[in-house]
Chain A
Amino acid sequence: MAWSKQQMAERAAQEIGAGSIVNLGIGLPTMVADYLPEGQDVWFHTENGLLGMGPFPFEGDEDPQLINAGKQTVTVVPGGSFFDSATSFAMIRGGHVDLAILGAMQVAQNGDLANWSIPGGRTMGIGGAMDLASGAKRILVLTQHVTKQGEPKLLEACDFPLTACGCVDRVITDLAVLDVADGGFALVELAPGVSLDEVRAKTGAPLRA
């Protein structure tokens, strides 16, 4: 049984050390916050200018001027702070963010990440993706193992436009946890009931086990 999205988010939450600063990308990575144990002193950073982001507000408490980088209404936890975008990206680019959990379109075996543009597809823009990918101390990618069409997303080389070179440290998919190390993918863990052969068949690059 491959992991569900919820189980992927739960597995990703185990990667977050107590007392760390974490930026969660738009989409599936946002769900990771729901699986953190209490009392870990983990501070969520959102690049539009908030450190100490809390959960969605209770209905009736939402403020259109208190949002995350996905433009969803959020809350601020006690001890949180607001700041301008230059300060926010100093936190990112300056290496003060311990971990960024990002989505991906493609990841290469050397750690190259492509997650902002599909050739011939709709241009969504770059946003904070390039700064996060090249600036955060550790990059964890959270993605389905293959595309909706069944094509591998983990490849020898990306053919989509890159977000950053050699930035990815670890990938969590619905099938497995893999590290990017010594120029290739290395298996860390299989999802329950998933075989190494299946992961190898669905990975577009050599896999060390």
Chain B
Amino acid sequence: MTGRHRDKVQASVEDALAPLFDGAAIMVGGFGLCGNAEALIAGVVDRGVRDLHLISNNAGNMGKGLAAWLRAGIVAEVTCTYLGNNEDLHAAMREGTVKINVVPQGTFVERIRAAGAGVAAFYTPTGVGTVVAEGKETREFKGRTFLLEEALPADFALIRCRRADRFGNARFWRTARNFSPLMATAAGTTILEADELVELGELEPDDVHLPGIFVHRVLEVTEHEDPFEYRTVRARAGEAS
């Protein structure tokens, strides 16, 4: 049987996104605009697929990142944890053009983790006695009530890392890691946008954050915008604040 783990390196965004299809559930890593696979996100609009189920913590912000998908009208459903001041998502909600599921963040990532780990569902204390619990099974363990939450899989994951090799072993940078390694485990096909592609063996095996078994397509993209959402700084000693 031929495996999926050779020839993963893609020559272009178009090649990397070739397997996408209409109606696909697509996970996209990033906390707001931090750690976005910018080239892949932009490429999906050009790819021409639609009726997507977007699974992402924020679905863009400030008109950037995944907001482009909302503006292009290619999203039918969003599963996210936080809308904040994402005007494109608020507009979609107001107009009723997109079904929006808001999930507690810890439950969101644990459902993704469960999907990737072969766990069908789990009991969590988060959301008990709130709107999140409506229609869900609860059960007591040792006197405390827990809520049954089901695994959340996807057809694709689009993630970004700092450095990767051609097998898809990946290292992330700072807080850009967030949901990406979990999403990689939960998707049928994971497409990795790496700032830098290195030779096999250049990543110290002890330092691999995401093993290549969870990655199916690798694209090197060296230029990124990496916008600031809230650029907060302090004055250096001796300078007026």
**A contact residues vs B (CB 8 Å cutoff):** 46-50, 55-59, 61-67, 69-74, 76, 82-86, 89, 92-93, 112, 122-131, 134-135, 161-165
Interface residues of B in 111-141 (CB under 8 A from A): 112-113, 124-132
A122: chain B residues at CB < 8 Å are 90
Task: A58-B235, A86-B110, A131-B105 are known; give 7 further A-B pairs, CB within 8 A.
Answer: A59-B235, A86-B182, A89-B105, A125-B83, A126-B132, A162-B130, A164-B130
When C-beta atoms are compared, the residue in chain A nearest to B237 turns out to be: A58
Do A125 and B236 contact each other (CB < 8 Å), given the known contacts A84-B181, A85-B178, A86-B182?
no
Whether B226 sits at the interface, judged by CB under 8 Å, is yes
Whether B95 sits at the interface, judged by CB under 8 Å, is no
Inter-chain contact B113/A71, CB cutoff 8 Å: no
Inter-chain contact B178/A84, CB cutoff 8 Å: yes
B33: chain A residues at CB < 8 Å are 64, 71
**Chain B min CB distance to A45 (Å):** 12
**Chain A min CB distance to B211 (Å):** 13
A61: chain B residues at CB < 8 Å are 233
Complex-state Cα separation, A127 to B108, whole angstroms: 9
Give the total number of A-B pairs whose CB atoms are below 8 A apart.
170
Which among A46, A84, A161 is the interface contact of B131 at CB below 8 angstroms? A161
Do A47 and B226 contact each other (CB < 8 Å), given the known contacts A62-B233, A84-B182?
no
Main SS of chain A's interface residues? loop
Inter-chain contact A48/B175, CB cutoff 8 Å: yes
Inter-chain contact B126/A134, CB cutoff 8 Å: yes
A126: chain B residues at CB < 8 Å are 81-82, 102-105, 132
B178: chain A residues at CB < 8 Å are 48-49, 84-85
Complex-state Cα separation, A122 to B94, whole angstroms: 10
* Size class of the B contact interface (CB-based, 8 Å): 35 or more
B173: chain A residues at CB < 8 Å are 65
Inter-chain contact B174/A124, CB cutoff 8 Å: no
Do A57 and B103 contact each other (CB < 8 Å), given the known contacts A64-B34, A131-B126?
no
Closest 10 CB pairs of A and B: A131-B106, A89-B106, A125-B82, A165-B129, A71-B229, A130-B104, A65-B176, A127-B82, A72-B232, A85-B109
Do A92 and B106 contact each other (CB < 8 Å), given the known contacts A48-B34, A56-B233?
yes
When C-beta atoms are compared, the residue in chain A nearest to B229 turns out to be: A71
Which among B110, B112, B232 is the interface contact of A73 at CB below 8 angstroms? B232
Inter-chain contact A85/B105, CB cutoff 8 Å: yes
B32: chain A residues at CB < 8 Å are 67, 71
Most buried by B among A47, A69, A89: A89
**Chain B min CB distance to A163 (Å):** 7
A72: chain B residues at CB < 8 Å are 229-232
Inter-chain contact A130/B230, CB cutoff 8 Å: no
Interface residues of B in 180-198 (CB under 8 A from A): 180-182
B180: chain A residues at CB < 8 Å are 84
